[in-house]
Amino acid sequence: MKKKPSRTASPGSPSERWPTVAVAGGEFERADEAAKYVFGQTRLRPKIALVLGSGLGAFADEFEDAVKIPYATIPHFPQSTAIGHAGKLVIGKVDGIPVAGMQGRVHLYEGYSPKEIVFPIRVFARMGVKALILTNAAGGIKREFTQGRLVVISDHINLQGANPLVGPNDERFGPRFSDMSYAYDRRFREMTVGEGNRMGLGVSEGVYAALSGPSFETPAEIRYLRGIGADLVGMSTVPEVITACHCGIRVLGISCVTNAAAGILDQPLKHEEVLETGERVKGQFISLLKAVLPGIAESIAAIGDSGVFGGVS
């Protein structure tokens, strides 16, 4: 596991397992520094951000009037090591709507701390983002969630053994105990299912279980997950959702079912299959995102900017 020079916690503490610069505090100031840097690269002030999972980064290549900012140049931003993640923040417009698109994210399985994983979400909060669209690849547990289906996440089960809000709470981001009753915005969910069905994509809703990975699940684990109410399984998204809720950002989550979960079909799981299915469904996924953006923009239009970095207060 990599070591960071400014790590401050004592050996044996949780942050020893997940070496991080974030545990000592100052996260708010770091997020402001990153937001300031991003605002220095573009005149656009997006209110909607998208996290584009494996393969879906291509959507951000379609943004108009775009500026592409490598994660490596943004202060304190984590760098993705996952295949298929370009590692750029693209600020541009989709049909005239300003958006910020992350081409790839970092995961717990790469060795990043929960706080590092969610740093970009906190930067979005400081940029004044009000709606976050999270996309991912997932294994289908529910039988009808076959390869290639797009599923709107209705709720989640966090089995990652980690929560990004553990540690001192900075009230400037949000409250100590944040409500997760409506983590996935109902209006956004309805709009996306509606648009998806209008487009003939057969989009429905499901509960996403997040595990740390990187190994795929065992068939017994999938039977267990089905028993506790999970319809989909994956290795991302949940830390970002928890953080967005904490910061008051409304969330839409959409999974692309890239494979039947372990044990459902009598065949081994391969990452290549995940990438191939993602590639095959990419066009539909992008069309669905484009279809829901105007409705999302409209539903957040009335929310003000007070307290945001560089915002009107």
Backbone Cα Rg of the chain: 18
Is residue 76 among the annotated active site residues?
Answer: no
Binding mask 294-313 for ligand HPA (x = CB under 6 A): --------------------
For 22-63, give the DSSP string. Answer: STTS-HHHHHHHHHHHHHTT-S---SEEEEE-TTTTHHHHT-
Is residue 54 among the annotated active site residues?
Answer: yes
- Does position 145 interact with ligand HPA (CB under 6 A)? The reply is no
CA distance linking residue 264 with residue 170, whole number of Å: 43
Is residue 197 among the annotated active site residues?
Answer: no
The size of the interface with ligand HPA (CB under 6 A), counted in residues, is: 13
Is residue 178 among the annotated active site residues?
Answer: no
User: What is the length of the chain?
Assistant: 313
Q: 39 or 109, CB closer to ligand HPA?
A: 109
Is residue 287 among the annotated active site residues?
Answer: no
Is residue 107 among the annotated active site residues?
Answer: yes
Residue nearest to ligand HPA (CB): 139
CB 250 within 8 A of CB 241: no
Q: 113 or 237, CB closer to ligand HPA?
A: 237
CA distance linking residue 197 with residue 273, whole number of Å: 26
- Does position 278 interact with ligand HPA (CB under 6 A)? The reply is no
Q: Which of 216, 238, 240, 284 binds ligand HPA (CB under 6 A)?
A: 216
Is residue 156 among the annotated active site residues?
Answer: no
Is residue 137 among the annotated active site residues?
Answer: yes
User: 10 Å Cβ neighbour count for 58?
Assistant: 15
CB 250 within 8 A of CB 125: no
CB 255 within 8 A of CB 206: yes
Q: How far is CA 35 from the centre of its chain?
A: 18
Residues 254-273 that bind ligand HPA (CB under 6 A): 258-259, 261, 269
Which range binds ligand HPA by CB under 6 A, 23-31, 156-164, 232-240, 287-295? 232-240
What does the binding site for ligand HPA look like in residue numbers (CB under 6 A)? 137-139, 216-217, 233-235, 258-259, 261, 269, 274
Question: Catalytic amino acids?
Answer: 54, 85, 107, 109-110, 137, 235-236, 259, 271
